[in-house]
Amino acid sequence: MKLRNFFLAIALIAAVAACKAPYKATDTGTSTSTTTVVVPAGTQTAFTTQYPGAINVVWSKYDAQAVAPIDWELAGWTAMDADDYLVRFDHENENYYAWYDNDGNWIGSAIVVKDYTQLPAPVNTTVTTKYPGYAITSVNKEIQKDRVAYEIELNKDNTKAKLLVDANGNIIKEKTKAM
């Protein structure tokens, strides 16, 4: 009986370990062992200045293959490489992601929007007018130095749409595809 419980515990641990996070929290480099990400002091200072009071801060190296909360192509952000950084954190009761280049320059941030009713009225008007009958499935607020925009995923029947809409309701970019 003890041996059976031991194997059940091992199986449970293996199952939990097999679950993947939505984004890598550590840098694995080229080896199979996990290592801590060393973030340059200037990058850390830029982050703490921009987001004082951030909690649950987790740094990782930028990984183009990892799942990110934004569609990089749709957003049109600066190209990044493996020398750059992603930081995942909580700030003012919101889930944030922020990207910094290897020189400590802020590229942009994204906030997961949980309550779609909190979108600016012009954004809601654009969505309901341009995509009637579509259901919003996810929204991320994207912040850059020169703009705030909303990346909105929509579904209707067998069609999926992704929009990038500025705070005034102007569609910056859009994609649609059959599912």
| 13, part of any domain | no
Q: What is the pLDDT along the chain (179 residues), one digit of tens a residue?
A: 443 443 333 333 333 333 333 323 333 333 344 558 899 999 999 999 999 999 999 999 999 888 888 888 888 888 899 999 999 999 999 999 999 998 999 999 999 999 998 999 999 999 999 999 999 999 999 999 989 999 999 999 999 999 999 999 999 999 999 87
φ, ψ for residue 35, nearest 5 deg: -125, 160
Q: Are residues 153 and 79 in the same domain?
A: no
pLDDT at site 35: 59
Q: What is the DSSP letter of 77?
A: P
Q: Residue 55's domain spans which residues?
A: 24-108
Q: Are residues 104 and 128 in the same domain?
A: no
pLDDT at site 64: 86
Q: Which of 58, 78, 108 is the last residue of a domain?
A: 108
Q: Are 37 and 104 in contact (CB under 8 A)?
A: no
Q: Are residues 94 and 120 in the same domain?
A: no
**What would the two tokens of residue 58 be?**
């987790």
φ, ψ for residue 58, nearest 5 deg: -135, 120
Q: Are residues 98 and 121 in the same domain?
A: no
pLDDT tens readout for residues 48-91: 999 999 999 999 999 988 888 888 888 888 889 999 999 999 99
Q: Are residues 77 and 133 in the same domain?
A: no
pTM: 0.76
| 12, part of any domain | no
Q: Which of 64, 88, 108 is the last residue of a domain?
A: 108
Indicate the residue type of 36: T
Give the chain's domain count. Answer: 2
Q: Give the whole-number percent of the chain exceeding pLDDT 90.
A: 64
Q: Which of 108, 127, 152 is the last residue of a domain?
A: 108
